[in-house]
Amino acid sequence: MSRQSPGSLFSEQLAKAFLGGSLKLPMWVPVEANPPEAALVLLEGWGNEPLDVSQRHAIVEMNPLLIGVLLADDEPLAPAAEPSLVVMERSPAGNLGRVRLCPRQRIPLATSSREFSTLQIFAVEGCSNDCLDLPRLRLVYLVERWRLAFDNNPRNEKMSPMELFCMWVLYSYPRRVNVVSFLHPSGINMFPMDLASGFAGDLGILCFHRARPCLPLVREARKLAVCSVPVEDAPRVFGIGKNHQIATLDRRELPFETMPSPTFGIPVPQGALSIREVTVEEIHEVPRHQIVIGRTVSSAGGGAAMALVHRLYYQRLLREGRPMRASIRERAG
């Protein structure tokens, strides 16, 4: 059994005392959640009344940080005041944070939809985070700024501190980790994705990095399967993250037993909690990602499944004695 050094024990105690929780938790915690039941996201300052956009918004770009929101015909196309996204818990009711927005681009949708006519893109301008009291939050920000200044890992997304802190607020709303797969004459692929909206209406948002080798095949196949899985599958889901770097794979390399989706016959995890089959209706570009507007063709299953939340929110739940069920591999001391 490995032992922590006195120094690491001391730093852990300092973290719990002054930073609000353990440093050993991962930055993004895999939890079991049903996002629309756990929390909601309101778009304020966009019309006279706040809009519930919980299941129709997505992070569509990381650097710069951009957010896409699907809007209906009868909803405003311009802000009535300074717009912001407010993340709230449903029970107990209360604010978790606010992200201030700036309208960046309005994209009319060409595809017919029962609900939505426009994709509105917002940039972020700052945030407030209610998961921790202000003095300790400022200390957390200071520690994170120091970490960012010395981060030389080329695989890490180089975000500005302001945009990263906005991400923290956005991930106090549980972000479903979808297992996305497609079938193409040249092969199949399967990978995780959390840059996606829900599918409350007939349309939803899925975002692909434009450098992904599979993207040309997705554009040709025009059909995707989007699945939710149990939080216990988190190590296997993270394991297939490497498939973003390849166009197709050998099905025998997958850590899941697979079965065909009911309509398109796309391989999906056999233990999937929900299976949604979508057609690719439109593709729009932002600086480094391509935004797929997908239409639901079939959907089965549902309920609580694997999602990601930020560490500050999970630590708040721990302090209040109501943690979500999680799959956590603590970092070494």
Q: What is the DSSP string of 20-65?
A: SS-TTS-SEEEEEE-HHHHEEEEEESSSSS-EE-TTSEEEEEETTE
Q: Which two tokens stand for residue 196?
A: 């996606």
Q: Checking DSSP bridges between strand 203-209 and strand 223-228, what pairing results, if any?
A: unpaired
What local confidence, expressed as pLDDT, does residue 17 receive? Answer: 57
How much is the pLDDT for 8? 43
Only one residue has tokens 């500005």, namely 160
Helical packing angle, 134-149 and 161-170, nearest 10°: 130
Q: Which fold has domain 33-172?
A: Pnp Oxidase; Chain A (2.30.110)
**pLDDT at 2 > cutoff 60:** no
Give residue 142's pLDDT.
93
Tell me the pLDDT tens digit for each residue of 75-125.
887 888 899 999 999 988 899 999 999 999 999 999 878 889 999 999 999
CB atoms within 10 A of CB 94: 9
- What b/e string do you get for 258-289 counting C-beta neighbours within 10 Å, with b at 16 or more? beebeebebbbbeebbbbbbbbbbeebebeeb
Q: What is the pLDDT of residues 133-169, one digit of tens each?
A: 999 999 999 989 998 888 887 777 778 999 999 999 9
**What phi and psi, each to the nearest 5 degrees, are found at residue 54?**
-50, -45
pLDDT recorded at residue 47: 87
Task: Using alpha carbons, select from 330, 333, 332, 325 the residue that is nearest to residue 233.
Answer: 325
205-214 pLDDT tens trace: 999 999 999 9
Percent of the chain at pLDDT > 90 equals 77
| pLDDT the model gives residue 295 | 96
> What pLDDT does residue 78 have?
82
Separation of alpha carbons 165 and 144, rounded Å: 9
Cβ–Cβ < 8 Å for 272, 234: no
Per-residue pLDDT at 4: 43
User: Tokens at residue 35, please?
Assistant: 């996002």
- CATH for 175-307, options being 2.30.110.10, 3.30.70.100, 3.90.550.10, 3.30.390.30: 2.30.110.10
Amino acid at 56: R
pLDDT at 15: 56
Give the global pTM.
0.91
**pLDDT mean across residues, the chain:** 90
Average pLDDT over residues 211-224: 96
Mean pLDDT, residues 276-289 taken together: 95
Centre a 10 Å sphere on the Cβ of residue 323 and count the other Cβ atoms it contains. Answer: 15
Mean per-residue pLDDT, 40-67: 95
- Distance, in Å, from the CA atom of 222 to the CA atom of 115, rounded to the nearest integer, reads 21
Give dist(CA 71, CA 117) in Å, integer: 6
For the chain, give every residue range classified as CATH 2.30.110.10.
Answer: 175-307
From 88, 42, 31, select the one nearest 69 (Cα to Cα): 42
- For the cut 60, the answer to whether the pLDDT of residue 1 exceeds it is no
Q: Is 200 exposed, middle or buried (0-12, 13-18, 19+ CB in 10 A)?
A: middle
pLDDT for position 333: 38
Would you place residue 5 in the very low, low, confident or very high pLDDT band (cuts 50, 70, 90)? very low
- pLDDT attached to residue 176: 97
The pLDDT tens digits of the residues spanning 241-260 come to 999 999 999 999 999 999 99
Q: What span, in angstroms and rounded, lies between the C-alpha atoms of 62 and 88?
A: 22
pLDDT at 23: 62
Q: 16-25, 102-111, 143-152, 264-273: which has the minimum mean pLDDT?
A: 16-25
